[in-house]
Copies of this chain bind each other. A is one copy, B any other.
Amino acid sequence: MSSNNTAHETAPQFAAHVFAALGDHTRLSLIEKLSDGQTRSIAGLSVDSHLTRQAITKHLHILEEAGLVISTKVGRESQFAFKPDTIEEVRAYLDSVSRQWDDALSRLRAFVER
């Protein structure tokens, strides 16, 4: 939980930032599309959406700023690609929360059983 955190946020701040980016069904569907490893242009990502290209563009920039996606400009179009690192960091964060829960459970169990 640090390599992508360029803004020197604390772990929860970073996680909240990424969660906020994931907390929109349009953005989440963009992530799902790109997680197949293929690279897509803005027009390509907008084609089967009822939203405007500008709306998709805004969502992509939010995803990029959160570190979930990366873009490179090739020719007249900018290609967007999934960036799995940040997802991994967020998974690790959720693991830490779950681990605290599991530890609390086992402490409780030990207390009950003695």
Q: Give A contacts to B, CB under 8 Å.
A: 12-13, 15-25, 27-29, 31-32, 35-38, 82, 84, 87-88, 90-91, 94-95, 97-98, 100-101, 104-105, 107-108
Contact = CB atoms under 8 A, between A and B. Distances in A.
Contact of A15 (B12, B28, B84, B101): B28
A101 B28 CA distance: 14
A80 to B, nearest CB: 14
Contact of A28 (B12, B32, B91): B12
A33 to B, nearest CB: 10
A40 to B, nearest CB: 13
B16 A22 contact: yes
7 contacts: A12-B29, A16-B23, A16-B25, A19-B23, A23-B23, A37-B104, A84-B101
A10 B74 CA distance: 35
Contacts of A82: 101
Contacts of A87: 94, 97-98, 101
